[in-house]
Homo-oligomer: A and B are copies of this chain.
Amino acid sequence: MSTERPRLTRDRVLAAAIALADSSGIDALSMRSLAADQGVVPMALYKHVAGKQELLDGMVDAVLTGLPPLPGGSEWRPRLRERILATRATLLAHPWAPSVIETRTHASPIVLTYMDELMGIFRTGGFSAELTHLAMHALGIRMWGFTREVFPTPATPADPEQRAAMLAQFQTQFPHIVEIATATAGHPGSETAGCDAQVEFEFSLDALLDGLALRLAEQKASAANSARGRQRSASPR
């Protein structure tokens, strides 16, 4: 008697889940709320996704499908940088993505492809398989273009008198936190006072890439040494 509801498909379910998580937060996304959103009984979803975990897997895959093509070339550093920053830009539209990615226990083919491509960038750039392995671990979740926030704010009491007392105590109890908070409080256009997430991310990524570059240089030096050694001990000519 009401208007025709379009038939559910896997893609429609995933798109609806992403839209719901984008607008209402990941905590508001349940099989039941998603079903209600689609005007359907909870169990109807199970014909299209195996369960909640598989729904979350599918949401990650759907978002990653929107990534730009892998940058070409053989210079590992600009390629890696561009790739990771593009991933960051893509995931930034979906605040739930970091926590969902972190809680995945199985990698989908799309996720495996993403990681395989990153490893390919290292290998093409001259990293050995072993060094690539370590470098991937060093990237960690940063490979997805985000880092977990390490500055959870302390719970601030609502009562203004208590708040003032807390701030005063803060000054003496956590002098460095206060110093750093005030030293960087002037950044324009930043959401959380004193924090420009893009600047901080690029700083962190570049610092790590510097460290990896040093290790690549070491690897090349030791390879050259052992090659010289082999040449010396081999038959002349």
Q: Which residues of B contact A165 (CB under 8 A)?
A: none
The answer, among B108, B129, B138, B151, for a CB contact under 8 Å with A204, is: B138
With the chains together, A79 CA to B179 CA distance in Å? 21
With the chains together, A138 CA to B209 CA distance in Å? 12
Contact A150 B154 (CB under 8 A): no
The closest CB in chain B to the CB of A124 belongs to: B176
Interface: A4 (CB within 8 A): no
Interface: A32 (CB within 8 A): no
User: Main SS of chain A's interface residues?
Assistant: helix
The closest CB in chain B to the CB of A57 belongs to: B155
With the chains together, A214 CA to B208 CA distance in Å? 11
With the chains together, A154 CA to B115 CA distance in Å? 12
How many residues of A sit at the interface, in one of the four size bands?
35 or more
The answer, among B109, B112, B140, B154, for a CB contact under 8 Å with A147, is: B140
Binding site for B on A (CB under 8 A): 99, 102-109, 111-113, 115-116, 119-120, 123, 128-130, 132-134, 136-143, 147-148, 150-155, 173-177, 179-180, 183-184, 194, 199-201, 203-204, 206-212, 214-215
Contact B176 A132 (CB under 8 A): yes
With the chains together, A141 CA to B142 CA distance in Å? 11
Contact A174 B137 (CB under 8 A): no
Contact B212 A207 (CB under 8 A): yes
The answer, among B111, B116, B152, B204, for a CB contact under 8 Å with A106, is: B152
Contact B136 A150 (CB under 8 A): yes
Contact B209 A105 (CB under 8 A): no
With the chains together, A199 CA to B174 CA distance in Å? 33
CB-CB under 8 A for A141 and B152, given A129-B184, A134-B200, A210-B214: no
Q: Which residues of B contact A176 (CB under 8 A)?
A: 116, 119-120, 123, 132
Q: Which residues of B contact A211 (CB under 8 A)?
A: 206-211
